A and B are shown apart, each in its own frame.
Chain A
Amino acid sequence: MPAMTMVQSLNAAIDEALAGNDKVVAFGEDVGYFGGVFGVTRGLQEKYGLDRVFDAPINEAAIVAMGMGMAVNGLRPIAEIQFADYIFPGFDQVVSELSRIRYRSAGQYTAPLVIRTPCGGGIYGGQTHSMSPEAFFTHIPGVKVAMPSNPYDAKGMLLAAVEDDDPVIFFEPKRLYNGPFDGDPHKPATSWARHPRGEVPEGAYTVPLGVGEIVRPGSEVTVVAYGTMVHVANYAAEKTGVDAEVIDLRTLVPWDVDMVTASVKKTGRCVVLHEAPRTSGFGAELAAQIQEDCFYSLEAPVLRVTGWDTPYPHAHEWSYFPGPDRVGRALKQVMEG
């Protein structure tokens, strides 16, 4: 199997989708001729033509609404929002329209639109290029929300999203685009070629939405993470020596409650992680559901390690980012509980 970066595997997924189904189109700002600011759609317009991979005006409401209209008319569009931070002009179209069309038309109309968008920090992107706004979307009935953490999953999950009959908000942690990142900015960058999940099969395959993965089996504490934080969790477990079971949630809506609760009932301890701010973050939902389902198995309170409730700062990026030291402290704290 070839080693791929996440950019390459996402590109391969869109390539497979376009090749396999003539109802698939891809568009967004800079997506066409240029191939996207991160290169995820590079070469695809040349390969599939102007009406299948094309540039869109800088208007996220227009991009979402156009994709929704196309999806209602039988296409399988893949829209790119250039940065997750830019999605909010299109938020009303997601909240009030895209997510509800199946419901409010009682199934007469559906809009299987995939919205891809790079999220997360660790790239010195400042407040407007670093957000992880997934919790805004997990709060919307009617959309699925996914976030892969590696090239293999990225390809398989994106292909699953395109096949899915519901709209999917597909977050791509941009810090992982070109290599895994364990949260220590001082270590030299590593490559996906040296990571087992950097091996990506050729051809189409899917990684089902709604199914998590235990990426590090362990017995002492369950760590629930997604996106970049999966790698931080692994590193923190390694550094602290705590025998953590790390679950990569992969899909946030619907999330794999069976996998998580089975693990927490086994370990009796749980830490949930995300890069987004703490208050009303998705970790709050996870912690609440976990204590409801696992209360009598818990040896310690469920802890959260998250970004702070501030905008994402530029100079203080590494004080904001919930890195391995903070995660490690939480692992020790929960073990003392």
Chain B
Amino acid sequence: MTLVTGTAFHVPAPGRRPGDTPDFSKIEVPRAGETRKPAVDAPAGEVTDLAYGLVRVLDHNHQAVGPWDPQLSDQELINGLKTMVLTREFDDRMLKMQRTKRLSFYMKSLGEEAVAVAAAAALNDDDMLFPSYRQQGALIARGKDLGEMMCHCISNARDNLKGRQLPIHYASAEHNWFSVSGNLCTQFPQAVGWALASSYKRSNRIASSWIGEGSSAEGDFHAAMTLASVYKAPVVLNLVNNQWAISMFQGLSGGESATFAAKAIGYGVPGLRVDGNDFLAVYAATRWAADRARRKIGPTLLEIYTYRGEAHSTSDDPSRYRPKDEWRSWPLGDPIERLKNHLIGHGAWSADEHETWRAQCEERVATTWKESIGHGTLEEGPHAPTHTMFEDVYAEQPWHLRRQRQDLGV
């Protein structure tokens, strides 16, 4: 055997590692407004350029420009901004509580607030969401009680999931929010099935789902795309490219060779790249895709281009694999700052109002936290009664579970 000198095969590596200066100069950022907006019923084969474009509305002066401007009212934008700020404050509080061991685990959505909040705004409230674990902003946007979210995260007696799930793995039928799995990409083909049942029932409701660019490598991504394409399912499939899958940069998931949106081309499904830190762009692209779904034209894959501002989870330490504060250099900025500056720019919002709202959110989550731990904590309880761990395995408890419950003496 002849020994190969150097690396025998290509193993993608990010350009910058800890200690390096962040460098995103290789990322091409088209000007806002540059990417065209096709008709909602455009055939997939005629929109393949959008898989290499980038839907952007807010320009460098924070003005809304171009064909994708959704023309939202100031109030709608302020609502979106407020929800993003609330989400960030919620995340901050939960992280602090995890650091003091009040939560076993947490995952922030720093920098990705628009991904979830703008999508929730663009969809109908009765559309079904099949989220992954970083779309808590959409649940907050749908009005989920923050105290209930906290009670879930600390698995206390008021946890609507009876202490069965890790924090953030919410399920809320009342909010048309599916159960977050934790296994990657499994919800993508389920969303397609749900959407097909909606069509079958002649319902106007559509489904939407989110995965990360990392989990697009899973077979279930292919399953979902094949199903969605074959049956023209009324579904909006979001692939959130936040650049990092724990420690692996997006090149390990195929991002060096093509855009993630381009994966849609082979399925005959429109694939759009969208500036995920631009609330207006995420809103507009989601609305375009939702209209296609609702009009039974077919599914859409949206690559939501963003950056994971925080660690993957509280069990992760990004300082071991990427430059410190890389997020600060992200060329698409911070979704909250961009929408804030846009609103301030045309006189609908002010820095003072923003800080007042932020402080109110901070206080609200602190107060809600105190109320929530009044219903029990992870360490000390009370939790759901122990016998409930044997319930809901089946509709009715079979003999073997009854015996096991008796064995445990509960």
Contact = CB atoms under 8 A, between A and B. Distances in A.
Contact of A62 (B197, B201, B227): B227
- Chain A CB count within 10 A is highest, among B195, B197, B227, B399, for B197
Contacts of A101: 179
A279 interface: no
Given A62-B224, A141-B393, A254 B186 contact: no
Nearest to B178: A109
A69 B193 contact: yes
Contacts of A69: 189-197, 207
Contacts of B409: none
Contact of A257 (B196, B197, B220, B399): B399
A61 B226 CA distance: 11
Given A69-B189, A92-B183, A144-B394, A254 B169 contact: no
B392 interface: yes
Contacts of A142: 393-394
B219 interface: yes
Contacts of B296: none
Contact of A106 (B164, B197, B200, B399): B164
Contact of B220 (A65, A102, A103, A210): A65
Interface in A1-59: 25, 51, 57, 59
B39 interface: no
Contacts of A199: none
A89 B398 CA distance: 29
Contacts of A61: 189, 219-220, 223
Contacts of A57: 226-227, 230
B393 A102 contact: yes
B354 interface: no
A73 B220 contact: no
Contacts of B188: 65
B198 interface: yes
- Chain B CB count within 10 A is highest, among A62, A93, A258, for A62
B172 A254 contact: no
Nearest to A167: B394
Contacts of B399: 254, 257-258
Interface in A50-108: 51, 57, 59, 61-62, 65-70, 72-75, 89, 92-93, 96-97, 101-108
Contact of A105 (B128, B179, B189, B393): B179
B104 interface: no
Interface string B378-398: 000000000000001111001
B395 A66 contact: no
B162 interface: yes
A89 B219 contact: yes
B313 interface: no
A165 B398 CA distance: 13
A166 interface: yes
Nearest to A253: B398
Interface in B210-236: 219-220, 222-224, 226-227, 230
Interface string B159-184: 01110110001011100001101010
B10 interface: no
B222 A59 contact: yes
A70 B196 contact: yes
Contacts of A132: none
Nearest to B161: A106
Interface string A245-274: 000000001100110000000000000000
Given A103-B393, A105-B161, A142-B393, A97 B193 contact: no
Contacts of B162: 106
B44 to A, nearest CB: 18
- Chain A CB count within 10 A is highest, among B188, B398, B399, for B398
Contacts of A97: 181, 183, 186, 190
A110 interface: yes
B54 to A, nearest CB: 30
B179 A108 contact: yes
Contacts of A104: 161, 164-165, 169, 171, 179, 181
B149 to A, nearest CB: 15
Given A59-B226, A61-B219, A166 B201 contact: no
A249 B394 CA distance: 20
- Chain A CB count within 10 A is highest, among B164, B165, B188, B190, for B190
Interface string A139-156: 001101000000000000
Contacts of A73: 128, 193-194, 197-198, 201
Given A106-B162, A108-B179, A65 B223 contact: yes
Contacts of A166: 394-395
Contacts of A105: 161, 171, 173, 179
B192 to A, nearest CB: 6
A59 B162 CA distance: 34
B164 A25 contact: no
B197 A108 contact: no
B190 A68 contact: yes
Contacts of B181: 96-97, 104
A70 B183 CA distance: 19
B400 interface: yes
A51 B219 contact: no
A50 to B, nearest CB: 11
A102 B393 CA distance: 7
Nearest to B230: A57
Nearest to A258: B399
A80 to B, nearest CB: 15
A106 B171 contact: yes
Contacts of A165: 395
A103 B160 CA distance: 11
B222 to A, nearest CB: 7
Contacts of B172: 108
A75 B223 contact: no
Contacts of A89: 219
14 contacts: A57-B227, A59-B227, A61-B220, A65-B190, A69-B192, A72-B193, A102-B394, A104-B169, A105-B161, A105-B173, A106-B162, A108-B171, A110-B395, A258-B399
Interface of A: 25, 51, 57, 59, 61-62, 65-70, 72-75, 89, 92-93, 96-97, 101-110, 141-142, 144, 164-166, 210, 253-254, 257-258
Given A62-B224, A97-B183, A108-B173, 13 more contacts: A25-B200, A61-B189, A65-B223, A69-B197, A70-B197, A73-B128, A73-B193, A73-B194, A93-B186, A105-B173, A106-B162, A141-B393, A164-B395
Closest 8 CB pairs of A and B: A69-B193, A65-B189, A254-B398, A62-B223, A66-B193, A73-B197, A69-B194, A69-B190
